[in-house]
Structure 1
Amino acid sequence: MPAGAASCSLVPERSAGRAFPRSLPFKTLASPAVNELAILDAIQLIHTPWLDALVAAYTSTSDVGQIWILLGIVLAIIPKTRKLGAAVLVAVLIGAIVTSGILKPLIMRPRPCDVNPLVPMIVDRPHGSSFPSGHATAAFAAFGALLFSKGPKPLVIVVGIGAVLMALTRLYCYVHYPTDVLAGTVVGLLAGFAAAKIVEAASRKLQERRSQSHT
């Protein structure tokens, strides 16, 4: 761990002015299994200064989904991949609404670093609760959008690898449980599937209108 790294604790101003309630809805989801914390503790054994710096830098590129939003914008600018870019942007938006707008406030699972605040942190404690992982959701939303839109295979593979690595950084950083990441993966893939269908339907309708206007 880097010298002077801060430990994570549930500070009121970092949790929208409130601590996590003891009596929570969806108690099963709000209380992760003990062995999940053991997995995260085991991961702490592989920390090295260079890996800490690399992981912290990469995970920060998706603090607000910016790396995937940028990918969508770049693809949308290129005429041949415009539909792919639109699908990625729609997928990331859907994933954010479901994850941050619905599931996180509903389930309010404390983060691992809230439960075990003595673990030194390589990143600041993220805002909000733990379940599901917003980083994993955004990453797999982008991947799912490309996959279900039948994007170029090399691009799909690269983004898929990037999504897996992004999900793993959240475990390494001690800010998410494995089930947070797994749930984010599922939500992201579903968002990607929905976005691919939405963009395809919108594109088809637009083409029909254009063909009708020329007749």
Structure 2
Amino acid sequence: MNIIFFIQKVDNLILNYIKDNMHVHIMDKIMVIITSLGNWGMIWIIISCLLIINKKYRNIGLMALGALILTTILGEGILKHIIKRPRPCLDISPINLLIKKPLSYSFPSGHTTSSFAVVGVLYRYFKNYTFELFAIAILIAFSRLYLYVHYPTDILGGIILGLICSKIIIHIFNRFKWR
């Protein structure tokens, strides 16, 4: 069996399981709200700006913003246009979308990439908030599956790319000792 065919089959099985077993009215509402937190990376931009205006945490905010910019360039600007993976809401049997149909390609998930890029930076400096930070990122990522706009491998790719981008930005800041 072709590996790409196998991965697609597993992706479809997971999405269909979520669609067939987890969708209820209250969850529909909650997932729309959760996914909106990640729209345009807005929650992460707000957190970054709040950190930037505080002199003590300015560099952490700048790193978080840098990680967001890097993920936008690599994920949205490059990878999506190279891979050109259609979204599941276009690729699989019709489904009633609960949000506006995204216009970009599916891989990697931008919501997930930006979430894990910023959480990767914040985790390094705010260990006491590890659970809360990762919970927000995981919920945003899951909402993309629930809403049928990403495949599980889009989410996995977004997690990996986001964490790599956070490591790159932290390394750059530490290397040049921007203070």
Task: Give the TM-score normalised by the residue count of structure 2.
Answer: 0.91
Partner of residue 132 from structure 2, selected from 147, 158, 165: 158
Pairwise CA distance, 1:31: 9.2
Corresponding residue for residue 17 of structure 2: 42
Corresponding residue for residue 54 of structure 1: 30
Pairwise CA distance, 1:199: 2.2
Residue 89 of structure 2 aligns to a residue whose secondary structure is helix
* CA separation of 1:85 and 1:113: change in aligned 2, threshold 3 A: same
Residue 39 of structure 2 aligns to a residue whose secondary structure is coil
Gaps of 5+ in 1: 1-27, 208-215
Structure (1 or 2) with the greater helix fraction? 2
1:200 lines up with 2:174 in the alignment: yes
Q: Quick check: 2:41–2:114 contact (8 Å CA) kept in 1? A: yes
Name which one, 1 or 2, has greater alpha-carbon Rg: 1
Alignment map for 1:106-117 (pairs within 5 Å): 106-117=82-93
Q: Quick check: 2:80–2:106 contact (8 Å CA) kept in 1? A: yes
Corresponding residue for residue 165 of structure 2: 191
Gaps of 5+ in 2: none
Pairwise CA distance, 1:51: 1.0
Q: 2: distance between equivalents of 1:164 and 1:175?
A: 15
Q: Quick check: 2:87–2:150 contact (8 Å CA) kept in 1? A: yes
Corresponding residue for residue 73 of structure 2: 97
Corresponding residue for residue 155 of structure 2: 181
Counting matched residue pairs gives 177
Corresponding residue for residue 132 of structure 1: 108
State the Cα RMSD in Å: 2.0
Q: 4+ residue runs of structure 1 moved beyond 6 angstroms? A: 28-31
Pairwise CA distance, 1:153: 1.4
Identity of matched residues, %: 34
Provide, for residues 104-148 of structure 1, a one-character-per-residue CA deviation record: whole Å limited to 9, x for no partner: 00010011111124112111111211111001100000011123x
Range with bigger deviation, 136-145 or 30-39: 30-39
* CA separation of 1:145 and 1:175: change in aligned 2, threshold 3 A: same
